[in-house]
Amino acid sequence: MTAARPPRYRVCVYELRDGKTTQVIDVYGTGFITATATHFDGDDLDIHFASGGPRHLQQHIAAAIADEHPTRTRRPR
């Protein structure tokens, strides 16, 4: 019996602007983390998350995201 291969994921993102659709990314991998957000007037923020793949791989992805996009530190007032 052949061992089951782990699933692969395809992540596609499109920009929708003024009736035009532009592909931003179309990639395959064995793990992913996604987040989308919509900012409304005031402080309202609507965020949606999804993830897939082995937990240890997701941890590596999260670390790479944190390294690429560090949190800004605020200066004391």
3-38 pLDDT, tens digit each? 888 899 999 999 999 999 999 999 999 999 999 999
Task: Report pTM.
Answer: 0.73
pLDDT band at 77 (very low <50, low <70, confident <90, very high): low
The residues near 35 (Cβ < 8 Å, ≥ 6 apart) are 47, 48, 49
CA distance 74 to 71: 9
Q: What are the residue ranges of helices labelled H in the chain?
A: 55-68
The pair of three-digit structure tokens given for residue 58, joined into one six-digit string: 């997701």
Residues 5-26, buried b or exposed e (16+ Cβ, 10 A)? eeeeeeeeeeeeeeeeeeeeee
